[in-house]
């Protein structure tokens, strides 16, 4: 019987796994190669977070499940759904959300064409597995995969039957609720429906979070060879953004709100997601997999200087064929396909409504002047139209990957992809925002200037890129493999960068990597060494007139070493850890600042990249029902700026614990504490031309959870 008919039975058997099988030493994933393989057979740096490991976490923020993984920096600056995610340096340029990393939800891309991803799509309580590919992988996933790929996989409708309810309460008025129901119609239709709610008043001022999410999945086993899976989800997520602090504010009281003029920032989003996946095993040697999807998101987004109100319609397809055949007389698999996507984005930004001026008066923000600037906004309400932008972005990619199994010990992947990405951007501006120094009040502050006539800008750009990849795996023995790979990726500019300089090219990354993995009955070990070269990095500079400009001028070299190990001590008890070493430098980084000075950072270390990171943990689940997890995470010192003038080194020995009890796979209760010793440290500590940009990390927080399955 073909694999597709065993999905439901396999899911039910997994539910009743014994204590020894709960935490897997040998893992499999699909994302790295677009086919399910053991990690031992994957010629790339990968991480797989299983459902059992996810269940040991709080499941409130995605960063909880990613921190501590080698090569991965995961933290949160604003709580709620916010995640600061960097993989081997990819994502460093993102001031918020995620860039340079291709984010997938059940294999469907939720990353914008300019590489921007928002993780309010993801419901942490619905996750079945997280699959991470470290380093560039544009060969299989196209543009904006230069830093890696992360695939968030939700609970399969074929695997869960019954009801499950969960409730949690934590300090700072933090709540989480979840109801999951799964069933079938007695024949070949399976389904599940999930409803979840998260809310927190937070430990910081102006940082309230509230989210409601629902997801329904329907799976239909059409016949012995084909299936159809449909997913529909809706998210309503509201998050107040407290902003960064300067050095004195951080030392005085990290819970306070920012002193920035724009202290009513936030993001209030509504998201609809729909996808259909069709699988057909046409013959023993030919399988078709096709996905069509539609997304609609909108947000009200007060941020720096403007109130953004807009959204996007996104539609796309992903179709691939898996062809088993012989090549050089050896068993081979050809995976080939096409991806297409269209993004229809409209955004209107507005001036803030009411402000306090530096002379103490309260008035419409648009009435501020160079002699009486804005001190801070009083509300997050919008007022006058600041600008109107329309983006029409298209992406098409054709890919092929040939896997040749020369023997039981040796396999090789060859991959090639051709991508076309087109941006068509129009923007009409009615206001501009200026900062000036007021000698009377000794204050450097902002004010709006209305143009005499609307300013129209347009940028149209098409990129065509070829992304090759080659990888080999050799097994000395069945459970010990070594691999080598050369992979590539490219990153398109942001729309704001392209409007300034329509001639910008995409940056291009080549990764050279070797690694090894070994797994036994009681241990798992992996390590990797990599060297990445990125050319055409986009650098911000200024014209002789002092106007902001972007150009392709940067080049970076990233060298790193990663190590991970897990050992089974007793029945159901494991200890493990990871270590990462980074040496990331700007090979070439020269630009002109706003005063006309030539700045040369060539040879400097990249900011916010720790010299090293390590994590130690122990976790266990016993036959009597007790379970626990203890982890300690440390980041080594990193530079706070590209000038390398100051280091930050207080992100160390952050300890989290969880203890729980479960009975008969029916009910479970747990208590977890994050930052057990209430350490004061920064999730992000940066130094800019305008001062410090510090986001404090959360103090000690706790959560009590209880769930019941029936």
Residue 22: predicted pLDDT: 59
| pLDDT averaged per 10 residues in sequence order, the chain, 710 residues | 40 36 80 95 96 94 95 92 93 81 94 78 94 94 92 93 94 97 92 97 97 97 96 97 96 95 96 97 97 97 96 96 96 97 96 97 97 96 98 96 97 97 96 91 92 96 96 96 97 90 93 97 96 91 77 92 96 95 94 85 95 97 94 98 96 98 91 98 92 95 96
Residue 54 contacts by C-beta under 8 Å, 6 or more apart in sequence? 65, 124, 127, 128, 129, 130
**Is the CB of residue 500 less than 8 Å from the CB of residue 512?**
no
Residue 449 contacts by C-beta under 8 Å, 6 or more apart in sequence? 431, 432, 433, 434
Residue 167 contacts by C-beta under 8 Å, 6 or more apart in sequence? 175, 176, 177, 178, 705, 706, 707
CA nearest to 615, candidates 660, 649, 652: 652
Residue 185 contacts by C-beta under 8 Å, 6 or more apart in sequence? none
What is the rounded distance in angstroms from the CA atom of residue 123 to the CA atom of residue 119?
A: 9
Residue 442: predicted pLDDT: 85
What is the rounded distance in angstroms from the CA atom of residue 484 to the CA atom of residue 475?
A: 12
What is the rounded distance in angstroms from the CA atom of residue 100 to the CA atom of residue 91?
A: 5
Q: Which structure tokens are listed for 82?
A: 């916010």
Q: Given 3-state DSSP classes, what are the helix, strand and coil percentages for the chain, each rounded to the nearest 5?
A: 10, 60, 30
CA nearest to 701, candidates 207, 319, 371, 213: 207
Residue 508: predicted pLDDT: 94
**Is the CB of residue 497 less than 8 Å from the CB of residue 504?**
yes
Reduce the DSSP state of residue 216 to 3 states and report it. Answer: strand
CA nearest to 589, candidates 548, 539, 544: 539
What is the rounded distance in angstroms from the CA atom of residue 141 to the CA atom of residue 159?
A: 27
**pTM score, whole prediction:** 0.94
What is the rounded distance in angstroms from the CA atom of residue 232 to the CA atom of residue 234?
A: 7
- Strand 667-674 and strand 701-709: the pairing is antiparallel
φ and ψ of 39, to 5 deg: -60, -30
Residue 16: predicted pLDDT: 32
Q: Which structure tokens are listed for 701?
A: 């927080």
CA nearest to 637, candidates 646, 645, 647: 647
């Amino acid at each position: 019987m073909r694999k597709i008919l065993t999905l439901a039975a396999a899911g039910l058997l997994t539910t009743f796994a014994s204590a020894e099988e709960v935490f897997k030493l040998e893992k499999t994933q699909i994302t790295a190669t677009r086919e399910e393989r053991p990690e031992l057979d994957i010629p790339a740096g990968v991480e797989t977070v299983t459902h059992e490991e996810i269940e040991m976490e709080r499941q409130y923020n995605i960063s909880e499940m990613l921190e501590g993984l080698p090569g991965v920096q995961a933290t949160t600056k604003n709580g709620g759904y916010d995640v600061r995610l960097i993989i081997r340096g990819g994502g460093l340029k993102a001031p918020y959300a995620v860039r340079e990393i291709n984010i997938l939800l059940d294999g469907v891309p939720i990353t914008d064409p300019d590489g921007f991803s928002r993780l309010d799509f993801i419901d942490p309580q619905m996750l079945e597995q997280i699959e991470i590919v470290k380093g560039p992988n544009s060969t299989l996933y196209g543009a904006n995969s230069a830093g890696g790929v992360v695939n968030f996989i939700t609970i399969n409708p074929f695997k869960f039957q019954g009801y499950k309810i969960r409730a949690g309460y934590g300090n700072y008025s933090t709540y989480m609720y979840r109801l999951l129901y799964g069933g079938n119609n007695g024949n070949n239709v399976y389904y599940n429906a999930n409803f979840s709610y998260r809310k927190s008043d937070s430990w910081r001022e102006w940082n309230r979070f509230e989210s409601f999410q629902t997801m329904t999945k329907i799976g239909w086993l059409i016949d012995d060879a084909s299936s159809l899976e449909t997913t529909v989800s809706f998210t309503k997520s509201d998050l107040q953004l407290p902003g960064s602090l300067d050095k004195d504010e951080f030392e005085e009281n990290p819970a306070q709100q920012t002193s920035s003029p724009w202290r009513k920032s936030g993001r209030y989003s509504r998201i609809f997601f729909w996808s259909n996946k069709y699988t057909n095993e046409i013959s023993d040697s030919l399988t078709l997999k096709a996905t069509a999807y539609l997304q609609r998101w909108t947000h009200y987004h007060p941020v720096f200087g403007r109130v953004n109100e807009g959204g996007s319609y996104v539609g796309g397809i992903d179709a691939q064929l898996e062809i088993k055949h012989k090549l050089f007389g050896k068993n081979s698999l050809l995976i080939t396909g096409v991806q297409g996507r269209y993004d229809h984005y409209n955004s209107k930004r507005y001036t803030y409504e009411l402000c306090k001026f530096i002379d103490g008066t309260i008035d419409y923000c648009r009435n501020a002047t160079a002699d009486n600037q804005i001190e801070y906004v009083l509300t997050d309400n919008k007022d006058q139209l600041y600008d109107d932008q329309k983006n029409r972005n298209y992406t098409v990619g054709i890919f092929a990957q040939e896997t040749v199994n020369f023997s039981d010990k040796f396999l090789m992947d060859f991959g090639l992809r051709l991508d076309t990405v087109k941006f068509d951007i129009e923007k009409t501006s009615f206001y501009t925002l200026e900062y000036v120094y007021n000698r009377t009040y000794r204050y450097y502050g902002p004010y709006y200037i209305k143009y005499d006539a609307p300013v129209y800008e347009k940028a149209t750009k098409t990129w065509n890129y070829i992304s090759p990849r080659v990888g080999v795996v050799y097994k000395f023995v069945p459970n010990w493999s070594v691999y080598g790979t050369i992979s590539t990726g490219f990153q398109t500019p942001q729309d704001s960068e392209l409007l300034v300089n329509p001639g910008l090219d995409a940056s291009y990354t080549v990764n050279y990597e070797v690694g090894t993995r070994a797994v036994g009955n009681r241990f798992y070990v992996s390590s990797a060494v990599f060297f990445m070269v990125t050319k055409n990095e986009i650098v911000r500079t200024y014209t002789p007139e002092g106007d902001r400009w972007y150009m392709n001028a940067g080049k970076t070299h990233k060298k790193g070493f990663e190590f991970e190990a897990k050992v089974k001590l007793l029945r159901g008890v494991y200890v493990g850890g990871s270590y990462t070493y980074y040496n990331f430098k700007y090979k070439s980084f020269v630009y002109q600042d706003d005063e006309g000075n030539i700045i040369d950072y060539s040879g400097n270390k990249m900011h916010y990249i720790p010299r090293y990171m390590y994590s130690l943990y122990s976790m266990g689940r016993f036959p009597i029902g007790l379970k626990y997890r203890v982890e300690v995470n440390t980041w080594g010192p990193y530079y706070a700026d590209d000038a390398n003038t100051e280091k930050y080194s207080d992100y160390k020995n952050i300890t989290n614990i969880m203890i729980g009890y479960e009975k008969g796979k029916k009910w479970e209760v747990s208590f977890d504490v994050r930052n057990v010793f209430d350490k004061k440290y920064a999730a992000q500590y940066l130094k800019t031309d305008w001062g410090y940009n510090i986001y404090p990390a959360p103090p000690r927080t706790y959560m009590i959870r209880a769930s019941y399955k029936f």
